Structure 1
Amino acid sequence: MLSLPNRPASAVTCFETALHANRQCFILFACLYCLTGIERFIRDFPPAHYTFKIESFNVLSNTEEFERYETGDFEAGGYKWRLSLYPNGNKKRNGHRYISLYLAISEPDTLPLGWEVNVDFKLFVYDQIRDKYLTIQDLDGGVKRFHRLRTEWGFARLISLESFNDASNGYLVDDSCIFGAEVFVIKCTGKWECLTMLKQPVGNTCTLKIQNFSAQLDTSYHYSNVFIVGERKWYLLVYPKGYSSATGEALSLYLELVDWGSLPSKRKLYAEYKFRIKDQVHMNHYERTGKNWFSASSDWGYSNFITLSDLNQASKGFIKNDALIVEGEITVMSMIKVSS
């Protein structure tokens, strides 16, 4: 059984050593470094926003006036930031025998009253031998809230001086070192989207009666009245003697979205639908179903919905008094609402 050390400091030192001595020890040491509340991992690419190089680090750390060093400002996410480095650790926050590094928002007094900035940030120490970056963030994901009463966040125990000064780790080479920061401001844009799937929506059926069916020409077509389902306008389109390749062979029947221009930009609307030809004698209606995504100038349905030979059979009751009744029913439909 693995025994845990009494001090989190031991966990940090062991973890840093394991990263370089034997990377397969990562799982073994995971339970140890969790004690510190800090996540450490190695990555290949540099910090996105700021790097800070120190030459003659030992001269700096041995100069009493440099208990803390603040960098110049850098911009990220629409705000100005700076790094605050304690080369011998921030002893007021239990950083003895460590390097402490903090991210601070610059000129907080110039920000609007009641300001608040939510930030996902990472801090870095560059391994100059392996061209890798030791990456440090909070175990909870690194999101911190900066405000008037808390203008600085970071790590009192960024890295132990023992590990940092070990030449084999590559952090301090020729008495030079490089730190870095990556700062992503989380801004609420107020944008939102709501998807609703309507099943058997109100007013979902449209009926079209075609009179004088026997007199219809091959080029004849009929639109139904517009019917509104879920705030969208639809109509049926019928070619009694067929359309395109079905001309003279079958009745063609389509469902079309009329107000596609009111859809959110580049979006589509999903619908499941049912078409039927009414049997006006036996009530044995002929039905077919479909489902499609509707967009600009698109209609969906069947070019060969029912053959004209079947349609004209008197025994089936589809045509009565030279009239044909067509119905369209939308059974499922998507509704999308977005913020303006």
Structure 2
Amino acid sequence: MNMTSLNFDEQDDAPPTHYMIKIQSLSLLSVHSLEKYESGVFEAGGYKWKLVFYPNGNKSRNVKEHISLYLVLAGANGPQTCWEVHAAFRLFLLDQNTGKYLALQEKNERRFHGMKLDWGFDQFLSLKAFTDTSNGYVMEDACVFGAEVFVRKEKSICKGECLSMIKDAVMYKHVWKIDKFSKLNAESNDSQTFIVGDQKWCISLLID
């Protein structure tokens, strides 16, 4: 989805409140065929976030001739579907010539949840404008991004479930041989641990 129709941009003298990242040797991202760069995790509004930068555009969304920049809710435990965080945010790009920031902001706050962890701008800035040294966004092969995040509403929780299907699942069979079964007197007996699908399992036998 192209987010540029949902934002406005402005020049801002003040640096981003919550996070800044400087990417040096920017050209090496393309040299090493790295389609995106994920920043470290930072905290704002009681939640953890990160920035994801696509130096040649987000190919999965068919972005061309633009850079893409997104804010991602980090640290989520699994694809939960019944919680959400309402947040307003601005993403920044430093003009190193003037010390001012190009700031892009959604007109409306966004809902981050288990099925939509990222919001941002597919077409944050054209590659032509981004790489033009007279604009100051890339100087000496380095650029600086930033973020401000303001949480408007805490997460909400409801009842729900997530169905996950595994294609071409492999059937696994484990046999537990119990010696001296008649002499078992514990209420619960466990087999040795075995591994299936990168998870540890055991069989429990309850004796009433």
Normalised by the size of structure 1, how large is the TM-score?
A: 0.43
Q: Which has the higher strand share?
A: 1
Looking at structure 1, the residues matched to 80 and 125 of structure 2 have their Cα atoms a distance apart, in angstroms, of: 35
| Helix, strand or coil at the partner of 2:103 | strand
Tell me the residue number matched to 1:319. Answer: none
1:148 paired to 2:117: no
Give 2:151's aligned amino acid: V
Question: What residue is the counterpart of 1:118 in the other structure?
Answer: 86
Give yes or no for the alignment of 1:160 onto 2:160: no
1:79 matched to 2:50? The reply is no
Conserved in 2, the CA contact under 8 Å of 1:82 and 1:104?
yes
Q: State the one-letter code of the partner of 2:117.
A: T
CA distance in 2, matches of 1:128, 1:54: 13
Task: Give the number of equivalent residue pairs.
Answer: 153
Name segments (4+ residues, structure 1) moved above 3 Å.
Answer: 110-113
Change (3 A) 1:162 1:49: same
> The residue matched to 1:53 in structure 2 has which SS?
strand
2:25 is matched with: 56
Match of 2:183 in 1: none
Q: Percent identity?
A: 47
Cα distance in 2 for residues equivalent to 1:164 and 1:154: 17
Map 1:169-188; keep pairs closer than 5 Å.
169-187=135-153
The answer to whether the aligner puts 1:130 opposite 2:98 as a matched pair is: yes
1-side partners of 2:147 and 2:13: how far apart?
A: 14
Q: In the aligned structure 2, how far is the partner of 1:187 from the partner of 1:150?
A: 16
Tell me by how many angstroms 1:71 deviates.
1.0
How far the C-alpha of 1:36 sits from its partner, in A, is 2.8
Distance 1:35-1:96 versus aligned 2 partners, 3 A rule: closer
CA spacing shift, 1:160–1:62, aligned 2, 3 Å:
farther
Shift of 1:35: 7.5
Q: CA separation in 1, counterparts of 2:11 and 2:43?
A: 25
Deviations 1:188-240 (A, max 9, x none): 6xxxxxxxxxxxxxxxxxxxxxxxxxxxxxxxxxxxxxxxxxxxxxxxxxxxx
1:86 alignment partner AA = Y
SS at match of 2:129: helix
State which drifts further: 88-97 or 128-137: 88-97
Task: Return the letter of the residue paired with 2:139.
Answer: V
Q: Unpaired segments of 5 or more residues in structure 1? A: 1-8, 10-33, 189-340
Give distance in 1, aligned partners of 2:133 and 2:47. 36
CA RMSD of aligned residues (A): 2.1
Query: Aligned partners of 1:180, 1:142: CA distance in 2, in Å?
Result: 19
Higher RCO, 1 or 2 (CA under 8 Å, sep at least 6)?
A: 2
Residue number in structure 1 paired with 2:63: 95
